[in-house]
């Protein structure tokens, strides 16, 4: 069922791997001409324009962007008790992990009276996007809201699409998750128009703009985030979900097959990649997938994802080559199913999150491992990180030198300023210790 790429018999370069490994074909640039007018219209027209686009695209128009607090609170009553319990347990685990991510101030002493202190200041206001579409994502509420809360942000809002079947309000499961987290500001707006409205706000409707926008979305949401980046900060340009599994002949073919299927049900463009040095194991996994994917609710979506160009099996000579391929692929989610799985995991340099062994599957991380599931996609894990408490903090240095300390370093500063032909920089130092001539004196 999966396409096979055979890299055995030679050591492919990083350049070759970038060309031959399975990748999706999403092109954000292709939709920029469609999204740019939406962003501009919302910048000019505010909430009314955003609601117009929601009505046009999704055929639903809420009475107002802001969801009433009583509607948010009442949504909890629509959930089964077991779902509420699951959300509460996930919240506790995610909160513990993200609370312990918060850094503490650190002072470096460079000499008597010379210190640099790094402090971490929360972003004032954040906008957290939670998608709708083919599934309901209360887990995305948790993954966005909790790190922002643990960072100590001043205020936050959740934007999520309205639903016609719920009288123009967001899905009640999303609202219930917000209520359990104490979120009181929810905007019933989705798509590119939601991103634009969070960036520019609307004074007439008392919709204050944010300073950073985080959270995954479709290609139109991603394009809008690109367009407003600079007006506000963004976490990343998220692509379709992806999983890579690095496995040897000790792995369980049924477990691996289900893990590949589980990520494929996210989206037709989702990527599922198996990297292995065992051709026999590869055949076994492919056979299990073919026999088992049809029983899932989203079988057609799974089939389209698994047979797409973004998914496949990569055969390598050995685990050394497998690690190199995994690093070159830089998966959003990477599972390790090998001998000494923890040792192999610690050698991986590029992955959004690494799931070690048979009992740490990606779906655990999607919901309740405690880690964050908003992760870099499309190979960007080679240079960026997933969402965390750090996303909502800014590192600021406090530089404090007394007179003696500045006088000690002054000759070096002046020498470097002169070398750069910026003499006024040096004069700003000398002026603290000498009476410098003025233009009038000359």
The pLDDT assigned to 134 comes to 67
Binned at pLDDT 50, 70 and 90, residue 135 comes out as confident
Dist CA 144 CA 167 (whole Å): 25
Residue 428 has pLDDT above 90, yes or no: yes
Q: What is the DSSP string of 96-149?
A: HHHHTT----EEEEEETTEEEEEEEEE-SEEEEE---TTS--HHHHHHHHHHHH
Binding residue per annotation — 241?
A: yes
Binding residue per annotation — 120?
A: no
Name the CATH topology of 28-112+123-237. Answer: Rossmann fold (3.40.50)
CA proximity to 148, closest of 396, 387, 373, 397: 387
The number of residues making up the chain comes to: 442
Dist CA 301 CA 193 (whole Å): 27
- Span 144-172, average pLDDT: 96
Alpha carbon distances (Å) from 267 to 44, 173, 188, 271: 33, 20, 23, 9
- DSSP E strands in 33-105: the ranges are none
Residue 417 Cα to chain centre, angstroms: 41
Binned at pLDDT 50, 70 and 90, residue 267 comes out as confident
CATH class for the region spanning 4-24+239-370: alpha beta
Binding residue per annotation — 263?
A: yes
The pLDDT assigned to 404 comes to 96
3-state class (DSSP) for residue 280: helix
Which residues are paired to 355 by β-bridges? Answer: 335
What percent of the chain is predicted at pLDDT more than 70?
98
The pLDDT assigned to 179 comes to 98
Binding residue per annotation — 309?
A: no
Task: Supply the residues annotated as catalytic.
Answer: 332-333
Binned at pLDDT 50, 70 and 90, residue 438 comes out as low
Residues with Cβ within 8 Å of 208's Cβ and at least 6 positions away in sequence, in order, are 125, 155, 201
pLDDT tens profile 170-205: 999 999 999 999 999 999 999 999 999 999 999 999
Query: What are the sequence ranges of the domains in the chain?
Result: 4-24+239-370, 28-112+123-237, 402-442
Alpha carbon distances (Å) from 32 to 151, 222, 223, 260: 33, 10, 6, 31
What percent of the chain is predicted at pLDDT more than 90?
92
Handedness of CA 320, 321, 323, 328 (dihedral sign): positive
CA proximity to 225, closest of 371, 35, 391, 368: 35
Dist CA 375 CA 238 (whole Å): 8
3-state class (DSSP) for residue 347: coil
Q: What residue spans of 108-265 are helical by DSSP H?
A: 138-151, 172-180, 191-200, 219-228, 253-264
Residue 51 has pLDDT above 90, yes or no: yes
Binned at pLDDT 50, 70 and 90, residue 25 comes out as low
CA proximity to 251, closest of 333, 356, 346, 330: 356
Same fold, 4-24+239-370 and 28-112+123-237: yes
Binding residue per annotation — 70?
A: no
């Amino acid at each position: 069922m999966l396409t096979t790429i055979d890299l055995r018999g030679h050591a492919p370069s990083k350049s070759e791997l970038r060309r031959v490994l399975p990748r999706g074909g999403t092109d954000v640039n292709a939709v920029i001409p469609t999204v740019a007018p939406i962003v501009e219209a919302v910048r000019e027209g505010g909430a009314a324009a955003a609601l117009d686009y929601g009505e046009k695209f999704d055929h639903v128009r809420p009475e107002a962007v802001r969801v009433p607090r009583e509607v948010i609170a009442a949504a909890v009553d629509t959930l089964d008790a077991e779902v509420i319990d699951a959300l509460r347990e996930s919240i506790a685990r995610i909160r513990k992990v993200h609370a312990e991510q918060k850094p503490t101030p650190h002072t470096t002493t460079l000499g008597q009276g010379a210190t640099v202190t790094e402090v971490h200041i929360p972003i004032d206001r954040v906008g957290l996007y939670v998608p709708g579409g083919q599934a309901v994502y209360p887990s995305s509420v948790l993954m966005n809201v909790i790190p922002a809360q643990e960072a100590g942000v001043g205020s936050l809002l959740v934007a999520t699409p309205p639903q016609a079947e719920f009288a123009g309000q967001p899905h009640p499961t999303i609202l219930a998750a917000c209520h359990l987290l104490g979120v009181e500001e929810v905007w019933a707006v989705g798509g590119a128009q939601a991103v634009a409205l969070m960036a520019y706000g609307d004074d007439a409707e008392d919709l204050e703009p944010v300073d950073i926008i985080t959270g995954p979305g479709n290609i139109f949401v991603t394009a809008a985030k690109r367009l407003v980046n600079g007006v506000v900060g963004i976490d990343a340009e998220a692509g379709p979900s992806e999983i890579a599994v690095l496995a040897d002949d000790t792995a369980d073919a049924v477990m691996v097959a289900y893990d590949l299927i589980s990520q494929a049900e996210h989206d037709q463009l989702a990527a599922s990649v198996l990297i292995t040095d065992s051709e026999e194991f590869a055949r076994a996994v492919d056979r299990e997938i073919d026999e088992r994917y049809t029983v899932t609710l989203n079988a057609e979506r799974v089939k389209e994802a698994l047979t797409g160009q973004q998914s496949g099996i990569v055969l390598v000579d050995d685990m050394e080559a497998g690690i190199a391929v995994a690093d070159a692929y830089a998966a959003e989610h990477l599972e390790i199913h090998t001998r000494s799985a923890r040792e192999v995991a610690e050698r991986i340099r590029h992955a959004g999150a690494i799931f070690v062994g048979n009992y740490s599957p990606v779906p655990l991380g999607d919901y309740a491992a405690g880690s964050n599931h908003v992760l870099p996609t499309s190979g960007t894990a080679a240079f960026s990180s997933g969402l965390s408490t750090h996303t909502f903090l800014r590192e600021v240095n406090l530089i404090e030198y007394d007179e003696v300390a500045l006088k000690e370093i002054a000759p070096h500063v002046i020498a470097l300023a002169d070398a750069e032909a910026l003499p006024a920089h040096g004069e700003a130092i000398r002026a603290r210790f000498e009476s410098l001539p003025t233009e009038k004196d000359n």
